[in-house]
Structure 1
Amino acid sequence: MEIKIFAGSSGKEFAQKICDYLGTELGKSRVFTFTEGNTYVKADETVRDKDVYLVQSIGLHPNNEFTEILFWVDAFKRASANTVTVVMPYFSYAKGDKKDEPRVSIRGRVCAECIELAGADRVVTMDLHSPQIQGFFKKPVDHLFALPILCEYVKTLNLDDLVVVSPDSGFTKEARNYAKYLKTSVAIGDKERDDHSENAKIVDIVGDVEGKNALIVDDFSISGGTLIDVARTLKEKGAKKIYAALSHVLLTEKGVQKLEDSPIELLISTDSVNNPYIQNSDKVKIVSVAPLFAETIGRIDRRESVSPLFNEVPNKIFENI
């Protein structure tokens, strides 16, 4: 079978990087939004009997981007594609992973079921808000990790006396994975959140940070509030330079301004979300994970195991660092 890579409206730049890595051309397609908001998608070349990969994050405009994915999958299936794989570097609705209060939707499960009902045969994504979200899908899910690529860039900064800081207890396990990779210690933020706002209060830092360089790690940030609150608390506790590493950066314009005014020296993240607000910030360093996704697509196409990429990323992927 022949593979064909297409991009949704928010995935064009990322998809082009994947195609450049694989030495193939991006599929011709179009997306049009009518004046009342109705979305129209069309592949401008045949996909009959081809293995199609649709690249689209659910990121800054989650409702539109999610709906577009459903339309794309349906279009490819109706055009007799052999298989359709949704390459979703960031899955925003993964935040809705549980029913922790009455009368709420488990949004991640609803979205997963809709993607499958539209006809998707497989999903490739990265750093879900919690790993068990893979269980919302009945189809295969390849869950990739940004940690090795982010850590390799952190190594180039040559930071001595480094401590990895989790912003709360919920991210402690992943913070320990960062610390293991970087061969350093861990500290944990004690965070309180009273409502569904994007702001939380850091009341303390558990662990030794005095006189050390700190790396705050998390899966994503929107307002930047928690990151900056942690950074200020670290400064109060005697930390030296403060850095941050995120799998996905969704900072708003106000969030970027907060970052610029914060004690954080540098925020390191990936290009999983096409975020125009960060483009002119000297405090943001983006490291591409498109080669990681391209390598995954290549392995799927060759019917090879993807699992080695979870622990040992090929050296050629680090050429972009």
Structure 2
Amino acid sequence: MSNSQMFTHINGELGLIVLESCKELGEKINEHIKARRKVEGNFLLPAREIRFSNGEGKVKLTESVRGKDIYILCDIGNYSCTYSMFGIENHKGPDEHFQDIKRTVSAIRGKARRITVIMPLLYESRQHRRKGRESLDCALALQELERLGVQEILTFDAHDPNVQNAIPLLSFENLYPTYDILKTIITEEKNIEIHKDNMLVISPDTGAMDRAIYYSSVLGVDVGLFYKRRDHSTIVNGKNPIVKHEYMGRDVENQDVLIVDDMIASGESVLDIAKELKSRKAGNVYIATTFAFFTEGLKKFQEYYDNGIITRVYSTNLTYISPELEKAEWFKRVDMSEFIARIINRLNKDQSIAKFMDATYVIQELLENKVSK
């Protein structure tokens, strides 16, 4: 009898298929579930992602999945995964990771009781709507998973949750790491004072305003907004360059500020905003984001930290964090493995996860505990 066969539930045995892109996070999730259920053994089901020398690939499962409740974990943003093609080392991009998800579902061959795909970073989430003659990648991808027999999709902080309208009959859960981010900030920043008289939450653009308003409301502080003035006559790296960031909000002098966004790509925007805030004599500048890509490296962030412009950057481990970033003194990782383990544990037992969709109450408890200390 295999390890996974030891854990039988009326709702189907739990099986975790963790693709190589999500190995570290998946192993932590497995350990948390084992601890919650007080069991020995392993919920992980082995899966081999095979690449042929010409770049073609396949996924092979080496253990039965019949009747199991399968959860497939994949980080489509993990650029550290490599394979050899014609003797050249290639790094996997989002397209290749998504193809491996489809290969895994195909290898299951309809034998599982239920298939849930956990994509913390939603595939093609920034291409969620059409503007003129262009592709609609995210919607097409979600519909493809539905056709393959996936019953549920879990993701975090989707760029636009409305994309779920492309699959109206499929369960689509968009989760947020707000509580875990704030808990980590409060734990790490011993001297931080969260009060309306000495702190603001800043939205880096109009698109992130809803997120900033939520942070400000649960923290009980004011909110400010930067508006990106772009040059729409020019396109650089697929987007219109920013001419200037215009600020709307109350005075930031001597105020600590928390800039919140869903992702950091190059980081140009948040660094420009941090510089603008410092020119207005702001205190500590903290940056909190769900996904940190740092597509143009870490050098500029280190420079801004050394010059006292930014104090700390907080981001989750929902996408790949390089060893170099992990070591940076200005960066703190927010571990989401326990949160995901709780979600999987409840879903496997057909229990509601509604209380995990709104973190307001637990955040208020967190803040009360900080005050009492």
Q: TM-score, normalised on structure 2? A: 0.80
Partner residue, 2:176: 145
Aligned residues of 2:116 and 2:154 also touching (Cα < 8 A): yes
Q: Take 1:270 and 1:166, find their aligned partners in 2: how far apart are those partners?
A: 18
Partner residue, 2:21: 10
Aligned residues: percent identity? 27
Q: Secondary structure at the residue paired with 1:268?
A: strand
Aligned residues of 1:225 and 1:255 also touching (Cα < 8 A): no
C-alpha displacement at 1:79, in angstroms?
A: 5.9
Q: Take 1:88 and 1:198, find their aligned partners in 2: how far apart are those partners?
A: 28
Residue 286 of structure 1 aligns with an amino acid whose one-letter code is: R
Change in CA separation of 1:104 and 1:294 when aligned onto 2, cut-off 3 Å: same
| Counterpart check, 1:164 vs 2:164 | no
Q: Secondary structure at the residue paired with 2:214?
A: helix
Aligned residues of 1:32 and 1:40 also touching (Cα < 8 A): yes
| Counterpart check, 1:299 vs 2:346 | yes
Aligned residues of 1:57 and 1:88 also touching (Cα < 8 A): yes
Q: Secondary structure at the residue paired with 1:261?
A: helix
Partner residue, 1:47: 65
C-alpha displacement at 1:139, in angstroms?
A: 1.0
| Structure 1 segments unaligned to the other structure (5+ residues) | none
Q: Secondary structure at the residue paired with 2:254?
A: coil
Q: Take 2:242 and 2:143, find their aligned partners in 1: how far apart are those partners?
A: 31
The 10-residue stretch of structure 1 (154-163 or 192-201) with the greater mean CA deviation from structure 2: 192-201
Q: Take 1:127 and 1:210, find their aligned partners in 2: how far apart are those partners?
A: 31
Change in CA separation of 1:14 and 1:99 when aligned onto 2, cut-off 3 Å: same
Partner residue, 2:39: none
| Counterpart check, 1:220 vs 2:263 | yes
Partner residue, 2:53: 35
Partner residue, 1:97: 128
Q: Secondary structure at the residue paired with 2:99?
A: helix
Change in CA separation of 1:202 and 1:33 when aligned onto 2, cut-off 3 Å: farther
C-alpha displacement at 1:104, in angstroms?
A: 0.6
C-alpha displacement at 1:197, in angstroms?
A: 3.5
Tell me the alpha carbon deviations over residues 239-272 of structure 1, each in whole angstroms, 9 at most, x when there is no partner: 11111000111113x3322211122211101000
Highest CA radius of gyration, 1 or 2?
Answer: 2
Q: Take 2:241 and 2:64, find their aligned partners in 1: how far apart are those partners?
A: 47
Q: Secondary structure at the residue paired with 1:132?
A: helix
Q: Take 1:133 and 1:256, find their aligned partners in 2: how far apart are those partners?
A: 32
| Structure 2 segments unaligned to the other structure (5+ residues) | 1-11, 35-41, 79-92, 367-373
Q: Secondary structure at the residue paired with 2:43?
A: coil
Q: Take 2:303 and 2:57, find their aligned partners in 1: how far apart are those partners?
A: 39
Change in CA separation of 1:217 and 1:285 when aligned onto 2, cut-off 3 Å: same
Residue 32 of structure 2 aligns with an amino acid whose one-letter code is: Y
Partner residue, 1:21: 32
Q: Take 1:265 and 1:36, find their aligned partners in 2: how far apart are those partners?
A: 46
Change in CA separation of 1:198 and 1:305 when aligned onto 2, cut-off 3 Å: farther
Q: In angstroms, what is the RMSD of aligned CA positions?
A: 1.9
Tell me the alpha carbon deviations over residues 278-298 of structure 1, each in whole angstroms, 9 at most, x when there is no partner: 223221111111111111111
Within 5 Å, give how 1:56-67 maps onto structure 2: 56-60=74-78, 61-67=93-99
Residue 280 of structure 2 aligns with an amino acid whose one-letter code is: K
> Aligned residue pairs: how many?
313
C-alpha displacement at 1:314, in angstroms?
A: 7.2
Q: Secondary structure at the residue paired with 2:77?
A: coil
Q: Take 2:240 and 2:299, find their aligned partners in 1: how far apart are those partners?
A: 16
1:119 aligned residue (140, 145, 149):
149
Q: Take 1:71 and 1:200, find their aligned partners in 2: how far apart are those partners?
A: 40
Tell me the alpha carbon deviations over residues 52-110 of structure 1, each in whole angstroms, 9 at most, x when there is no partner: 1001022142111111111111111x16111111011111411111112x211121101
Residue 242 of structure 2 aligns with an amino acid whose one-letter code is: A
Q: Take 2:303 and 2:211, find their aligned partners in 1: how far apart are those partners?
A: 27
C-alpha displacement at 1:201, in angstroms?
A: 4.3
Q: Take 1:121 and 1:175, find their aligned partners in 2: how far apart are those partners?
A: 32
Partner residue, 1:256: 298
Q: Take 1:19 and 1:114, find their aligned partners in 2: how far apart are those partners?
A: 28
Aligned residues of 2:288 and 2:314 also touching (Cα < 8 A): yes
Aligned residues of 1:108 and 1:133 also touching (Cα < 8 A): yes
Aligned residues of 2:123 and 2:141 also touching (Cα < 8 A): no
Change in CA separation of 1:4 and 1:198 when aligned onto 2, cut-off 3 Å: farther
